[in-house]
Structure 1
Amino acid sequence: MHMFFWWDYKITDFLFHGLTTTSVGSLFGVCIVVSAMSFLFEVLRYFQAKHRQKELMLRSQQIRTICPTETSTLLTENSQSATRPHIKITRIDRTFLFGTEISLWFSLQNLGYILMLSVMGYNGWVLISAVVGGGVGYFVFGQMFMKINLQNCQIIRDTWCMQKCGEPENYPTSRDGESTPALESSAASRSALDCHEVVTASIHAECHTST
């Protein structure tokens, strides 16, 4: 194992026993594979953010039906068709969302470790190929990735701030000298606390992941 960067085209036992490069062409093929894996890593990060957005939108719709805003409540009361069913996340939905999330996490973790082991061979050409592949992937998906993360935080913010029952009792939301209005009843308080727990958990999960 070389403990310094070297630039020869001969690599012995690259990642697997017996996988050896003996020519410039074989080294070029290894570099292409490493570059593709680095590019794929950025692609998976993008799809992970898209999947998280889908889950947040579904939960946001569910929360809005459970805790409607004042405007939506008045419109519903004045309309003749006031029997809109609640959006429920079924067990199948939960299984699909969780399975997709685990699959993306598993793929990202393993691909990251493989890339790390590839670079730890200290071959300069492999390092350059990994950097180039990741750079191209970030150039293509980086802006969209950040945009989706901002949209996810916006979904959480809108779901939290626009709910009639979105401010639970004794929750410190006052600012600039304004006081938090008291809730009307204990039932509203319980509903607000339920909404607060769901949205707060989403806020911590999303913003910690985004950073």
Structure 2
Amino acid sequence: MMHMTFYWGKDVTILFDGWRTATWTGYLLSLVALLLASAFYQYLEAFRIRVKLLAGAKPASIPPPASSDAARAPLLLPSSAAGRWPARLATAGLFGVNSGLGYLLMLAVMSFNGGVFVAVVVGLAAGYLAFRSSDGEDLVVVDNPCACA
């Protein structure tokens, strides 16, 4: 029967029936695996954000036409968004993989084992410290002041 409150002990079923721990060695190896998966989650999130920032970088600005060529200048400049589809697909793929890993970590925590909970939280914190806690060099200024956009 599944526990509905937090408990401490080495006997735990994580994610599916095939991942059961009955020994302290198996339990500790499972906790290390969950800790590493949590840190990897933070790495993937940092990598996805960097890919998104690189994909969203504005192309070199096109200088305005000279006053004599104003009649020949197009009204709308060609959009460079068409060339960004591979980067957008990569970002979407990374988002999907990261979301799936996040949900699996959530389901592992829902085993209600205290050690599993601590391993996931420590892994997330260590991954954030290692991969995402820069000194503000990755700050992005948003042009839209609306928080809902």
TM-score (norm 1): 0.57
Q: Which segments of 5 or more consecutive residues in structure 1 lack a partner in the other structure?
A: 78-85, 158-199
AA of the residue aligned to 1:119: V
Matches within 5 A, 1:71-90: 89=80
Contact kept, 8 Å, 2:55 with 2:88, in 1: the verdict is no
Query: Which amino acid letter does the alignment assign opposite residue 86 of structure 2?
Result: F
SS in 2 for 1:118: helix
| Matching residue of 1:99 | 89
Does the 8 Å contact 1:46/1:145 carry over to 2? Answer: no
The structure with the greater share of residues assigned to helix is 1
Shift of 1:61: 1.8
State the aligned residue count. Answer: 138
Structure ID, larger Rg = 1
Distance 1:31 1:105 in 2: 25
Deviation of 1:36 after TM superposition, in Å, equals: 0.9
Equivalent residue of 2:88, what SS? helix
Matches of 2:27 and 2:47 in 1, distance apart?
30
Aligned-residue identity in percent: 25
Q: CA RMSD in A?
A: 2.7
Q: Which digits, 9 at most, give the CA deviation of each residue in 1:187-208, with x for residues without a partner? A: xxxxxxxxxxxxx6xx87xx76
Aligned match of 1:135 in 125, 131, 145? 125
Deviation sequence 1:8-35 (CA, Å, 0-9, x none)? 10113x2122221110000011111111
Note the 1:31-42 alignment, pairs <5 A. 31-42=31-42
Opposite residue 144 of structure 1, the aligned amino acid is S
Q: Structure 2: which 5+ residue stretches go unaligned? A: 67-76
The question of 1:111 aligning with 2:112 is answered no
Question: Relative contact order (C-alpha < 8 Å, sep 6+): which is higher?
Answer: 2
